[in-house]
Amino acid sequence: MENKIEIFKSKDGLIQVEVNFEKDTVWLSQNQMAELFAKGRTTITEHINNIFKEKELYEEVACRKFRHTTQHGAIKGKTQTKDIQYYNLDVIISVGYRVNSKQGTQFRQWATKRLNDYLIKGYAINKKRLEQTQQEVQYLKTGIRILGRSIKAELNGEDINFDFLKYFSKGLELLDDYDHETLDNTGLTKQEAVYPEFNDYMKVINDMYSDFDSQVFAKPKDESFLSSINQIRQSFGGVELYPTIEEKAANLLYFIVKNHSFVDGNKRIGAACFLYFLKVNNMLFVNDMSNKSVVPIVSNETLASLTLFIATSKTEEIKMVKQLVISLLK
Structure pTM? 0.50
In the chain, how long is the greatest CA-to-CA distance?
Answer: 93
List phi, psi (to 5°) of 14. Answer: -85, 145
How many residues are recorded in the chain? 330
Strand 79-87 and strand 63-71: pairing? Answer: antiparallel
List residues bridging with 71 in a β-sheet. 79
Give, for all 330 residues of the chain, the pLDDT tens digit.
455 666 555 555 655 555 555 555 677 888 888 888 888 999 999 999 998 888 888 888 888 887 766 665 566 666 677 788 888 888 888 888 888 888 878 777 777 666 655 555 554 445 555 555 555 445 444 444 444 444 444 445 444 454 555 555 566 666 666 666 666 777 778 889 999 999 999 999 988 877 777 788 889 998 899 999 999 999 888 888 899 999 999 999 999 999 999 988 898 899 899 999 999 999 888 887 666 778 888 888 888 888 888 888 888 888 888 888 888 887
- For domain 105-329, the CATH class is mainly alpha
Residue of 7, 221, 210 whose CA lies nearest to 93? 7
CA distance 302 to 30: 38
List residues bridging with 239 in a β-sheet. 236
CATH 1.20.120.1870 occupies which residues in the chain? 105-329
